[in-house]
Amino acid sequence: MPIGNVQPSVRPVSSGRTDADPVAAEATGRHRGTRPRRSRGGARAERFAPYVLVAPAILIIVVLRLYPLLLGVNFSFTGDGERNGTVVGIDNYLELLDDSLFRTALGNVGLLVLLLPVAVAIPGLLATFIYLRVPGHRFYRSVYFFPAVLSPVIVGAIFNLLLAFDGPVNAVLGAVGIGPVDWLGDPDVAMFVVVGVHIWATFGMALVVFLAGFATLDSALLDAARVDGASLLQVIRHVIIPGLSRTIAFVAVTTMVGMLTSMFGLLYVMTSGGPEGSTYLPEYYIWIQQGQMNRPALASAASTVLFVIMLVVGLLQVKLLRRAGGED
Amino acid sequence: MKQRALWSAVLVVGLATAGCGSASDTGSSSGGSTDKLVVWDWKSGEPSAKAYIEKAKADFSAKHPDVTVEFVAQPFDQYYTLLGAAIQSGKGPDVMLFNGGGQIRDRVDALVPLDDYVAEDKQRLAGWDAFTKDGKTYAGPVTLQGHPIYYNKDLYAKAGLDPASPATTWDKFLADCAAIGKVGAKCFALGNKEGAGIQFWLSALGSGVLTAQEYDDWIAGKRDWNSPNVKRVFQLWKDAGDAGLNNDGANSTAMFNDAFALFQSAKAAHVIGLMSDVGHWKDFNEFLTPDKLGVMSAPVVTAGTTPSLAYDGGIGYAVAKWTSDPKLAADLVRSLTSTEALQAFYAEAGAIASDTTIDVSQAGPAAATIVGQLKGGKPALHVALSSKTLDLMGRVSQQLLSGSISVDEAVKQLAASDQAG
């Protein structure tokens, strides 16, 4: 942790500087009174110096992050509407458990975790192809990145048009004799469609990270594998994946965070949580309860649950990153 | 070093003081001084509302020349979220715009009852019920919002039907729809992506299904979800979907504005639309031309019922309880609902205004039919439901269309939600 490191490194430097600058020490001493008291005071100031130096950072975290967090948790134990401000214990949490919509939202979080390997594999594979210089790789490199610069609202609007029941995608399917699919109106399909669009819209960033990872890969290993007659699959399995383990872990972490925190815009534009409530995620649920249902305390309870989930996922991922880092 | 310690201490104290406060504190009152009123709405930024706002401002400044009024147009998507935050902190605008029904009833704790201030307007304006809770009025209605059934006279003629006399019974209506289907158009343009289609359905057709007694009881809060007629409304919804009366993919079609576009492009013969704002006679007039747009009454499903137009106060201005002078703010609400201002709103935005004295004969036969039906109209059924039940109703309506739930189960869930909230 940074705090542990700060203390030893700061103290010698700062005390050394004061010692080496007797003029300055004297100058301050002249205002403060007698010499012995001054040096004792100076020593005390130096003892507190590290705390003072880290104080701004800690204070910002405590006051602007932890304190509001505690307020929110505290607020989640109060009531809404007529019971505004009164303590209701865990009523809000019981209501959440009882709400099938919130359970759907949590189930969808589980689905996102299950789909994570796909979301990591797609940019990984495409980056591999670019790295192996398939024909037109320069063109693909820029094209793949293009969706990453579009806002989720624009992406959502584009796919709303494409995936409309009487839209072009169904027209193409119809032309080859496959019946139309109600992409955004079928509860069994809609969530996968939204996740798919999210992956499409964001994989460019992961692709760039992968390409940066490839830059560190020892090409001699690849050449050696080729000389030994390894197939493409064997090269990927035995050379590229082990060589990129840290990059893969990093992409997995950032993709997971992205899926859990930034799908609101897409959901809002593409499905509004529907059809039949099948595409709810916790953050959308929180927004609905706070903004549409006027239930801020219930929304706080849902936020607290989401926070705990993110905490667990985050800690697991930090562990994963550490382990991947340790492999080297 | 001392200097830094001092600054840090200042920072600590400063941040700690700034951080003090409680999330559930609604008691503190703030809001404006007496020489300035702040209004929040989502209308004043629109070009079509410009004349309306100007007239209202002029009316108000004639009465209170020394008070300035500031309109803050919020994005509608975020409006109730922002308002919720303002209410939670007990600070915010003095006057604010609300949708009638659940949106205002859920928030009356933060509002001032206006009955004493607007007594003179009660006769002139219609639509008060949507802004009333427990016998107290919380906002002055600006527009009326309701759910007429619009039909395309051109498609009727093509299908060999008489455009001047649309069906008055459900059986005849289904027969007409079959004829319309033969000329390649759907019966209903339906957008149920947001789950709003069922609300329009319930309110537009309800008066032909529920008996007068059931209707009034429903509005009064005594809703009998086990009544066969209530179930019939949802059964008809499901039957219409199963019979292919709606456009394909209704659950993924946005009502605003994909469903209305289907009606405007003559791909469907009927649409349950609105009276004001969007999806209304003025929009349809532009595409279909006024003489091809008709408004019909709900077909009679249950013998002995008298169909009526479902409408309520659409939007209205309310006064926040933290305002320093409620009388002054209520005066602004009265200016915002003055005949002159509402006349401008009707003319520019095409809204059916709450003022029943406005002449609409220039606006075409559809608007004239709607205004003619206002006298016998009743509050819309869905407006009486809480936002929570409406949200649930949107979801079960999608399930009914996709066939993943039975009508009995749907009504049971709705009854539980309605009785809980």
Measured between CB atoms, does A95 come within 8 Å of chain B? no
pLDDT at A14: 42
- Kindly state whether residue B25 falls inside one of the protein's structural domains: no
B405 near B396, Cβ under 8 Å?
A: yes
Q: Which residues of A touch B84 (CB under 8 A)?
A: 290-291, 294, 296
- Kindly state whether residue B16 falls inside one of the protein's structural domains: no
Question: In the structure, how many helices (H) and strands (E) does chain B have?
Answer: 16, 13
Tell me which amino acid residue B101 is.
G
Structural domains in chain B (count): 2
In chain B, what are the helix, strand and coil shares in percent, each to the nearest 5?
A: 50, 15, 35
pLDDT at A36: 52
Q: Which residues of A touch B110 (CB under 8 A)?
A: none
Tell me which amino acid residue B289 is.
T
Q: How is residue A201 written in tokens? A: 């819209």
Measured between CB atoms, does B258 come within 8 Å of chain A? yes
Same-domain pairing of B347 and B280: no
Task: Give the pLDDT band (50/70/90) at residue B362.
Answer: confident
Same-domain pairing of B52 and B125: yes
Which pLDDT tens digit goes with each residue over A132-154? 888 988 898 889 988 988 999 99
How many other C-beta atoms lie within 10 A of the C-beta of residue B420?
9
- In chain B, pLDDT over 90 holds for what percent of residues? 67
Q: CATH code at B303?
A: 3.40.190.10
Same-domain pairing of B296 and B219: yes
- Kindly state whether residue B346 falls inside one of the protein's structural domains: yes
Domain ranges of chain A: 2-75, 91-326
- Which structural domain range is residue B59 located in? 36-144+312-371
| B209 pLDDT more than 50 | yes
- In chain B, pLDDT over 70 holds for what percent of residues? 92
Predicted ipTM > 0.85:
no
Q: Do B106 and A72 touch (CB under 8 A)?
A: no
Give the residue from B103, B106, B252, B392 with the most A CB atoms within 10 Å of its CB, the best one to mutate.
B252
**Looking at domain A91-326, which CATH architecture does it have?**
Orthogonal Bundle (1.10)
Mean pLDDT over B352-358 rounds to 87
- Kindly state whether residue B18 falls inside one of the protein's structural domains: no
Q: Please give the residue that has the higher pLDDT: either B384 or B232.
A: B232
Give phi and psi for B24, each to the nearest 5: -100, 20
Q: How is residue B359 written in tokens? A: 């002449």
Same-domain pairing of B268 and B191: yes
| A12 pLDDT more than 80 | no
| Of A12-21, B30-39, B102-111, the least confident | A12-21
Q: Do A52 and B22 touch (CB under 8 A)?
A: no
| Of A79-83, A155-159, B242-246, the least confident | A79-83
Pick from B57, B105, B90, B122: which is nearest to B323 by CA?
B90
Q: Please give the residue that has the higher pLDDT: either A166 or A22.
A: A166
Mean pLDDT over B102-114 rounds to 90
DSSP state of B244: T
- Kindly state whether residue B1 falls inside one of the protein's structural domains: no
Q: Do A291 and B250 touch (CB under 8 A)?
A: no
Same-domain pairing of B94 and B203: no
Same-domain pairing of B290 and B323: no
Which pLDDT tens digit goes with each residue over A180-226? 999 999 999 999 999 999 999 999 999 999 999 999 888 898 889 98
- Mean pLDDT estimate for chain A: 85
Q: How many Cβ pairs within 8 Å bridge chains A and B?
A: 128
How many angstroms separate the CA atoms of B248 and B262, rounded? Answer: 11
Same-domain pairing of B172 and B238: yes
Measured between CB atoms, does B244 come within 8 Å of chain A? no
**Residue B151 is inside which H or E element, if any?**
strand B149-152
Question: A84 to chain B: nearest residue by CA?
Answer: B24
Q: Please give the residue that has the higher pLDDT: either A23 or B222.
A: B222
CA B365 remoteness from chain centre: 23
B392 near B412, Cβ under 8 Å?
A: no
Same-domain pairing of B236 and B279: yes
The set of residues, in sequence order, having a beta carbon less than 8 Å from that of A215 and lying 6+ positions away, is: none
Task: Give the pLDDT band (50/70/90) at residue B25.
Answer: very low
pLDDT at B17: 40
Mean pLDDT over A34-57 rounds to 79
CA A178 remoteness from chain centre: 38
pLDDT at A275: 92
